[in-house]
């Protein structure tokens, strides 16, 4: 079977794949370094039968190889109009077979193999540390040869010793190629590759209300860039450098902001990174004095498992005077004001009626309240939903939609 595949490859690809396989054989033959962690990445499928096959492949590897420190199950909900949530399905199947739940991490945003790589590479634990880290040995598992270029990219660009583990009847078509969807290109660094693949994924967002001028300005943070759009100019926004447009954000925080919201009651922008938060006035060039501060200073009685910080999103509702904080599958409602107590965490999927099935259990990237519209914008991956607050929180019809922000060629070059 392998000869049939290799016959379709260029000489360059033959040498690359042989090098990866030799690395795999050498690593198995040698004793694992004490600091090296063993990880597994199982690539999902929108077809449940195929998904079950891939889980079986992963489980056989788990049961027969040296112990694994973690297993990432990668696949979103409703990919290709399916009716399954791939990551949660795979997790349940593995747990049922006896795999410890605590070593399984769900990546539930991806809808394609390219996104399997990009989102899994970014996946973090509750304490903010990445699941897949440099120095790891990573087995990329599937019953399809798309595992090959994913493993190659991790090996060439992420300081990870990645090998592919494939089982099953893999019969290629005449048009198929091992570099599935052109994932592997050793000349393109992963930071650049991920930025292009996930553009324009919003990492944080807020809308500033200027009551005197009756204007609203919206900011969408995308890595170290920010998309800025003003009232009455929909679709005519611009992409700028955060350092230039929002100079109050510390240089060490640029590209690393977890969440942000604008509090119209005190006219302050609140930003979060790790276990800290900071505050500044919309037009300021520096943070307010005394910041950053610990997150626990802002929220009293913060649940224990939230103390590690790394929020996903936040917004402020001026009508109820509450701050909504999001982390993983949960959210908190906190009365605004200094050191107010938090309520009990609730599941994000229960926050609004008609929660999109395609958005799974939550895991948001950003949130924003727009006082002019009295609506909340939630962002996840390359999509967003709009929630109306009139008569209760409800997702508006025809959402999720794709985020529309043109690639800033003048700043980042051609895509």
DSSP run (H or E) holding 195: helix 190-198
Q: Both 192 and 287 in a single domain?
A: no
Q: Both 377 and 239 in a single domain?
A: yes
Edge to edge, what strands does the sheet with 104-107 contain?
104-107, 70-74, 38-43, 137-142, 161-166
DSSP run (H or E) holding 64: helix 48-64
pLDDT at position 414, please?
81
Where would I find the H helices in 189-278?
A: 190-198, 242-245
Half-sphere exposure of 285 (CA within 13 A, CB side): 1
DSSP single-letter state for residue 385: E
DSSP run (H or E) holding 13: helix 11-29
Q: Both 166 and 251 in a single domain?
A: no
User: What is the residue-level pLDDT of the chain in tens, covering all 415 positions?
Assistant: 444 443 444 434 433 443 444 344 334 434 454 568 999 999 999 999 999 999 999 999 999 977 999 999 999 999 988 999 999 999 999 999 999 999 999 999 999 999 999 999 999 998 899 999 999 999 999 999 899 999 999 999 999 999 999 998 777 777 778 888 889 887 888 888 998 999 999 999 999 987 666 788 999 999 999 999 987 555 578 999 999 999 999 999 999 999 999 999 999 999 999 999 999 999 999 999 999 999 988 888 888 888 889 999 999 999 889 999 999 999 999 887 655 667 789 999 888 878 999 999 899 999 999 988 899 999 999 999 999 888 778 899 999 999 999 999 988 888 7
Q: Which of 196, 218, 247 is the last residue of a domain?
A: 196
Q: Both 289 and 407 in a single domain?
A: yes
Half-sphere exposure of 29 (CA within 13 A, CB side): 6
Question: Is the Cβ–Cβ distance between 400 and 359 less than 8 Å?
Answer: yes
Read off the CATH number of the domain in which 349 is found: 2.110.10.10
In DSSP terms, which residues pair with 237 in a beta bridge? none
d(CA 87, CA 76): 6
Q: Both 265 and 164 in a single domain?
A: no
Read off the CATH number of the domain in which 93 is found: 3.40.50
Q: Which of 135, 167, 196 is the last residue of a domain?
A: 196
Q: Which of 196, 213, 237 is the last residue of a domain?
A: 196
d(CA 383, CA 360): 13
d(CA 329, CA 345): 9
Q: Report the candidate in 398, 262, 386 with the shortest Cα–Cα distance to residue 323.
A: 262
pLDDT at position 372, please?
86
pLDDT at position 99, please?
97
Joined together, the tokens standing for residue 231 give 């009232």
Coil, strand or helix at 364: coil
pLDDT at position 185, please?
82
Q: Both 328 and 385 in a single domain?
A: yes
Q: Both 174 and 188 in a single domain?
A: yes
Query: What are the Cα distances from residue 344, in Å, to 147, 325, 330?
Result: 41, 12, 10
Q: What is the 3-state secondary structure (H, E, C) of 267-323?
A: CEEEEEECCEEEEECCCCCCCCCCCCEEHHHHEECCCHHHCCCCCCEEEEECCCCEE
Q: Both 215 and 173 in a single domain?
A: no
pLDDT at position 71, please?
98
pLDDT at position 1, please?
41
pLDDT at position 31, please?
46
Q: Both 343 and 269 in a single domain?
A: yes
Question: Is the Cβ–Cβ distance between 50 and 17 less than 8 Å?
Answer: no
d(CA 371, CA 94): 45
Q: Both 176 and 208 in a single domain?
A: no
d(CA 86, CA 42): 10
How many independent structural domains does the chain possess?
2
Query: What are the Cα distances from residue 105, in Å, to 42, 211, 385?
Result: 11, 45, 25
Q: Both 268 and 383 in a single domain?
A: yes
Q: Both 174 and 254 in a single domain?
A: no
Q: Report the candidate in 118, 126, 113 with the shortest Cα–Cα distance to residue 86.
A: 113
Range of the domain at 284: 199-412
d(CA 356, CA 77): 10
């Amino acid at each position: 079977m392998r000869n049939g595949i290799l016959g379709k490859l260029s000489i360059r690809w033959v040498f690359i794949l042989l090098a990866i396989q030799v690395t795999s054989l050498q690593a198995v033959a040698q004793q694992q370094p004490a600091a090296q962690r063993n990880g597994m990445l199982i690539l999902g499928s929108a077809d449940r039968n195929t998904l079950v096959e891939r889980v079986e492949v992963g489980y056989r590897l788990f049961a027969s190889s040296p112990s694994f420190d973690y297993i990432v199950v990668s696949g979103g909900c409703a990919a290709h109009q399916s009716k399954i949530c791939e990551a949660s399905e795979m997790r349940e199947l593995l747990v049922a077979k006896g795999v410890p739940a605590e070593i399984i991490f769900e990546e539930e945003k991806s809808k394609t193999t390219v996104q399997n790589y990009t989102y899994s590479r970014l996946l973090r634990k509750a304490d903010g540390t990445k699941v897949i880290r440099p120095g790891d040995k990573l087995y990329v598992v599937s019953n399809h040869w798309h595992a090959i270029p994913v493993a190659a990219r991790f090996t060439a660009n992420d300081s990870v010793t990645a090998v592919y583990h494939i089982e099953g009847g893999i019969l290629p078509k005449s048009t198929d190629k091992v570099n599935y969807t052109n994932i592997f290109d050793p000349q393109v660094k992963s930071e650049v590759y991920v930025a292009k693949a996930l553009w324009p994924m919003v990492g944080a967002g807020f809308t500033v209300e200027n009551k005197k001028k009756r204007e609203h300005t919206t900011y969408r943070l995308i890595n170290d860039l920010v998309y800025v759009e003003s009232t009455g100019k929909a679709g005519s926004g611009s992409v700028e450098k955060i350092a230039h447009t929002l100079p109050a954000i510390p240089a060490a925080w640029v590209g690393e902001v977890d969440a942000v919201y604008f509090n119209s009651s005190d006219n302050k922008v609140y930003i979060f990174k790790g276990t800290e938060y900071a505050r500044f006035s919309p037009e300021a060039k520096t943070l307010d004095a005394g910041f950053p501060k610990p997150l626990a200073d802002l929220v009293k009685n913060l649940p224990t498992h939230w103390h590690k910080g790394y929020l996903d999103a936040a917004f402020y509702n001026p009508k109820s005077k509450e701050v909504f904080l999001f982390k993983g599958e949960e959210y908190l409602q906190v009365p605004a004001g200094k050191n107010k107590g938090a309520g009990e965490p609730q599941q994000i999927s229960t926050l609004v009626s008609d929660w999109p099935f395609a958005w799974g259990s939550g895991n948001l990237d950003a949130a924003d309240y727009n006082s002019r519209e009295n609506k909340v914008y939630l962002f996840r991956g390359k999509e967003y939903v709009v929630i109306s607050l009139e008569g209760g929180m409800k997702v508006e019809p025809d959402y999720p939609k794709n985020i529309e922000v043109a690639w800033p060629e003048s700043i980042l070059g051609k895509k």
